[in-house]
């Protein structure tokens, strides 16, 4: 929400309907260490072991 007034209740309208998983994702995607690890995962050969370590570290579950 670039440019949003953090003091304005209207700026957070969507947050009222957010569920825990939505809030968790918003936090996680802004985490510098997560971004670094995700970048490394994307650049790697993405072996199942690498993917499993990434999921365990960040507490992620991927639906297929």
Is 62 inside a domain boundary? no
Q: Are the C-beta atoms of residues 41 and 54 closer than 8 Å to each other?
A: yes
Residue 54, exposed/middle/buried by CB under 10 A (0-12, 13-18, 19+)?
middle
Q: How far apart are CA 17 and CA 14, in angstroms?
A: 6
Q: Is residue 64 part of a domain?
A: no
Residue 33: the pLDDT is: 97
> Residue 36: inside a domain, yes or no?
yes
**Maximum alpha-carbon separation in the chain:** 45
Q: What is the reported pLDDT for 1?
A: 47
pTM listed for this prediction: 0.67
CB 37, CB 58: distance < 8 Å: yes
In which band, very low, low, confident or very high, does the pLDDT at 64 lie, cut at 50, 70 and 90?
Answer: low
Domain membership flag for residue 50:
yes
Number of domains forming the structure of the chain: 1
Answer yes or no: is 22 within a domain. Answer: yes
Give the residue-averaged pLDDT of 45-60.
87
Residue 46 in any domain: the answer is yes
Asked if pLDDT for residue 61 goes beyond 90, the answer is: no
Q: Classify residue 27: in a domain, yes or no.
A: yes
């Amino acid at each position: 929400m670039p440019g949003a007034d953090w003091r304005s209740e209207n700026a957070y309208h969507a947050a009222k309907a957010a569920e825990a998983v939505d809030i968790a994702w918003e936090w996680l995607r802004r985490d510098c260490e997560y971004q670094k690890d995700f970048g490394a995962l994307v650049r790697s050969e993405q072996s199942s072991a690498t993917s499993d370590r990434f999921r365990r570290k960040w507490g992620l579950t991927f639906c297929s």
